[in-house]
Amino acid sequence: MFSNALIISFTFGYLALLFAIAWFSERSASKGRRLSNHPAIYALTLAVYCTAWTYYGSVGRAATNGLEFLTIYIGPSLIAPLWWIVMRKIIRISKVQRISSIADFISSRYGKNVTLGGVVTIVCLLGILPYTSIQIKGIASSFQILQGSGVTETLANLPFYQDTAFYLALGLALFTVLFGTRNIEATAQHEGMVMAVAFESIFKLIAFLIVGVFVSYFVFDGFTDIFSKAVAEGLDHLFVMQGENSASEWFWMSVLSMMAILFLPRQFQMGVIENTNERHVDTAMWLFPLYLLLINIFVLPIAFGGLVHFPIGNYEADTFVLAFPIAFDQKWLAILVYLGGFSAATGMIIVSTIALSTMVSNNLVMPLLLINDQFQKRYQHRLGLVLIWSRRVSIFLIILAAYLYYKQIAGQFTLVSIGLISFVGIAQFAPAIIGGIYWKKGARIGALVGILAGFSIWFYTLVVPTMVIAGYISEVLLNEGLFGLGFLKPQSLLGFSDLSYISHGLFFSLTINSILYVVISIFSQQTSKEHNQAIIFVDIFRYSESLDTAIVWKGQAYVPDLRVLLMNFLGVNKTDDALQDFVKHTGKKLDDKIYADPELVNYSELLLSGIIGSASARIIVASVVKEEEISMEEVLGILKEARELKSLNDQLEINSKELQIASEKLKSLNESLQINDMLKDEFISTVTHEMRTPITSIRAFSEILLDQDLPEADRARFLEIIIQETKRMSRLIDQVLDLERFDSGRQELNLENSNVDSLILEVIDSMKHIFLEKGLHFEYNLINSNVLIQMDQDRIKQVLLNLLSNASKFANSKVILKAKITESHLLISVSDDGKGIPEEELPYIFDKFFQAKNQTSKKPLGSGLGLAISKKIVEYHHGTIEVRRILNYTCFEFTLPFAQSKMKIIN
């Protein structure tokens, strides 16, 4: 019906379109616009679940088994609401631990164990290979039908170099290599590939809906027409659940597909590794089931329509979808449907192969190579290259192996049956994973034995029969059991023959697997590393935010060693970037010490985990780190501490941050207002009190002076007192005004370069007679330097006079003035040998009117403002003043810094 050239050019045209989409999205992402960062895209990529099996096979299955085909879609839809719990947890673990595949996930959970990772990889390879090959079968057979040859056998028997399917497989491998192995970090998202897969999901859905509408409304007269004709043909048994065991059959199939949607390598790749945001799961929870519903609406109509319309034997039911457009001569519709099937198949092949190649490189190749010291030495600087090429080569090998499998075996089975066998293989991971993320006791050895046992039973009950049918093994095994033992018949173990072939295999493999996993785990002892991982996995939501700071390495490593290690995989630039990131986030410096911080070791291991998988990363980091065994208690302690701190902080922050800030502001405002108010009140009342004293004397004596018969001597004496008291008052007023100017910041200094020694001498000159009068011994020294210091001479003199006059009031016999200069300061101290200031009063000594308020100390002459003003003056010079008791001396000491640039200068 179509020429080969036309079909091939459409096929490769479609591939070119995929290339274009992938290339465009990668370019857009490199400019910072990530198209894939959208929940709808995420949901669409999950639809990679719908392969050629869905596209062609559902109709085929419905044509023979009726409604049962739906189980594979009911399972995922039923479990979708649980994704919020399960999937989100797996995603969070994978992001935090930089998990690169499902093998890595399991290996990481059970102590980053190499063996387990390898076993899971091999199980995946063996389980998925047939599945991949049926995709090639789907492409090949649709291709043939489009050609019009109609006979499936012919093409499969051609030598490979004449087989179009072979070249298509190579094309797919090339695409996968180009868009799947660009980045060495397996955890890095494949933007181009994701967008291509999302496009394919839309394309296959639209193609299927169009053909569905065509069959239902153009070939037939709507659903009712099809169903009534089907009833007339005696097909009504397909409308209902069939037979005695149908209920258990539905149950087992749903369980199977629930596990498949989570653990198939391609689903894990799309759902977990390529996930850009946990919240996208929300949308996928309803959008993905909706997608499944849409793509299944027309399955039954097409199946029954095909059964009604086509004579038996003309077309395989698997190909009804394509047969209708051809039979009704709708060329373009036929091409569209073919391409839809092609997109369904290629989506699966591409994603599965990327996932598998990551597992092969990270969980098989790398560990094997790294265990070999010789190899590690020889290739240590090219490990990155080895890694990426092992991925590329394995992509080609996997696709070629799938092609070979298709040529040899797959041709003989329906799409669905092989798909289901793969599902059961993958389901063997369920106990280890589900147990691993909810049960801390789940142990490595239990997981390993469970998976191996389940896998063996899977092979024996499900794969062996297909090999018998394909003619590789004698039929005797099927009919009489292994060693002729009837209870070992592959399809009816222990005589169980009530279940269908698939359910039987699933039941036995999964049951034995689960029992072994649980029982062995209970009776085995975890190592501390394993236990550590178990806690992280199970309690991921508690720990994920504190993990960065919780250090579970204990040992010594050298920074240069780690740097070299990272450079081998990341290259110089990315390594530098990564280390700079580390420095920025932790605030720790790297260069000034040779020993690496445990946090850096951890960070390096995580970085490498993203590239070569956790088990390999552990091996390679261990090669440069002298690690000590860390006890379980230590690990728990660290994690708990980090967590508690974190949650405590969070709570405090969340609950009371804003409230606290607001109330604190108010409080401090209120407080400072109150204090201000109080101080002002107190100041005024003290000032007025201090003023009343001289006024009282003045008034009293003035009234006395009014008396006419006052002796002349008294009159003179009283007048002298009045004058003294008047002076005292005006001094007080001056000082109050001084202080007020300093307080309000309106005081200005008259700065000039001053000779310190001459200033000191001037002050001493005016104090000398007072010391003499009081019989005090006075000692002083000069700085003996011509250095000029900027200061307001009058003000500094005022300070010195105040200190000296205070000293003279309190001294017993001696006053000492010392001056010296340091590199940056002038330092002057005044000491007296008086009884000193009580310790509890020291903090208040510079307060205004302090001595006036203080009732119990001896009241000296003076206003009580001298020290307060002195302090202000020194502070205005950016200096400090303090008082302390040294031996038996009370020592006031003030400093003046040389640099005075910030001061106001007048004149």
Give contact residues for other proteins (rule: CB under 8 A): 685, 688-689, 692-693, 695-701, 703-704, 714, 718, 721, 724-725, 852, 855-859
Closest contact distance (angstroms) between CB of 786 and other proteins is 46
Nearer to other proteins, 107 or 697 (CB): 697
Closest contact distance (angstroms) between CB of 779 and other proteins is 30
Give the span between the Cα atoms of 33 and 841, in whole angstroms.
68
Closest contact distance (angstroms) between CB of 730 and other proteins is 16
Give the span between the Cα atoms of 783 and 761, in whole angstroms.
11
Q: How many CA atoms within 13 Å lie on the side-chain side of 421?
A: 27
Nearer to other proteins, 167 or 718 (CB): 718
Residue 831: which of 813, 847, 843 has the closest Cα? 813
Q: How many CA atoms within 13 Å lie on the side-chain side of 414?
A: 19
Structure tokens of 247? 């209920």
Closest contact distance (angstroms) between CB of 693 and other proteins is 6
Closest contact distance (angstroms) between CB of 691 and other proteins is 8
Q: Which residues, in sequence order, are bridge partners of residue 889?
A: 886
Contact by Cβ (8 Å): 804, 763:
yes
Residue 138: which of 4, 355, 357, 316 has the closest Cα? 316
371, amino acid identity: I
Give the span between the Cα atoms of 140 and 163, in whole angstroms.
9
Nearer to other proteins, 777 or 853 (CB): 853
Contact by Cβ (8 Å): 456, 123:
no
Structure tokens of 901? 């640039």
Give the span between the Cα atoms of 267 and 175, in whole angstroms.
19
Nearer to other proteins, 695 or 716 (CB): 695
Structure tokens of 775? 């019989």
Contact by Cβ (8 Å): 173, 136:
no
Closest contact distance (angstroms) between CB of 854 and other proteins is 9
Distances in Å between the Cα of 403 and the Cα atoms of 87, 137, 156, 197, 361 are 32, 8, 10, 21, 21
Closest contact distance (angstroms) between CB of 859 and other proteins is 5
Instruction: Report helix, strand or coil for 40.
Output: helix
Closest contact distance (angstroms) between CB of 727 and other proteins is 12
225, amino acid identity: D
**Beta strands 777-780 and 814-821: pairing type?**
parallel
Residue 417: which of 284, 318, 303 has the closest Cα? 318
Closest contact distance (angstroms) between CB of 848 and other proteins is 16
Nearer to other proteins, 243 or 838 (CB): 838
Give the span between the Cα atoms of 181 and 22, in whole angstroms.
13
Alpha-carbon dihedral 360, 361, 364, 370, rounded to 10 degrees: 180
Give the span between the Cα atoms of 480 and 490, in whole angstroms.
9
Alpha-carbon dihedral 382, 384, 389, 392, rounded to 10 degrees: 180
Nearer to other proteins, 210 or 721 (CB): 721
Residue 541: other Cβ atoms inside 10 A: 11
Alpha helices in 428-493 (DSSP H): 430-438, 444-458, 464-469, 476-480
Structure tokens of 30? 């490199």
Nearer to other proteins, 543 or 701 (CB): 701
Q: What is the DSSP letter of 462?
A: I
Which residues does 16 contact at the CB level (< 8 Å), separation at least 6? none
Structure tokens of 200? 């394919």
Closest contact distance (angstroms) between CB of 767 and other proteins is 23
Nearer to other proteins, 461 or 697 (CB): 697
738, amino acid identity: D
Structure tokens of 681? 């009140």
Nearer to other proteins, 391 or 728 (CB): 728
Find the farthest-apart pair of alpha carbons in the chain and give their distance in angstroms, rounded: 155
Nearer to other proteins, 126 or 721 (CB): 721
Angle formed by the axes of helices 114-147 and 614-622, nearest 10°: 140
Nearer to other proteins, 703 or 773 (CB): 703
Instruction: Report helix, strand or coil for 570.
Output: helix
Closest contact distance (angstroms) between CB of 662 and other proteins is 36
Nearer to other proteins, 368 or 704 (CB): 704
Closest contact distance (angstroms) between CB of 837 and other proteins is 15
Closest contact distance (angstroms) between CB of 714 and other proteins is 8
Contact by Cβ (8 Å): 415, 52:
yes
Closest contact distance (angstroms) between CB of 682 and other proteins is 12
DSSP class per residue in 83-145: GGTHHHHHHHHHHHHT--SHHHHHHHHTTS-HHHHHHHHHHHHHHHHHHHHHHHHHHHHHHHH
Nearer to other proteins, 314 or 688 (CB): 688
Q: Which residues, in sequence order, are bridge partners of residue 480?
A: none
Q: How many CA atoms within 13 Å lie on the side-chain side of 507?
A: 19
Closest contact distance (angstroms) between CB of 689 and other proteins is 5
DSSP class per residue in 371-389: H-HHHHHHHTTSHHHHHHH
Nearer to other proteins, 210 or 705 (CB): 705
Contact by Cβ (8 Å): 410, 134:
yes
Closest contact distance (angstroms) between CB of 865 and other proteins is 16
Nearer to other proteins, 519 or 695 (CB): 695
Closest contact distance (angstroms) between CB of 702 and other proteins is 9
Element spanning 884, H or E:
strand 880-886
Closest contact distance (angstroms) between CB of 692 and other proteins is 4
Nearer to other proteins, 724 or 753 (CB): 724
Buried b (16+ CB within 10 A) or exposed e, 875-894: ebbebebebeeeeebbbbbb
Nearer to other proteins, 80 or 698 (CB): 698
Nearer to other proteins, 631 or 693 (CB): 693
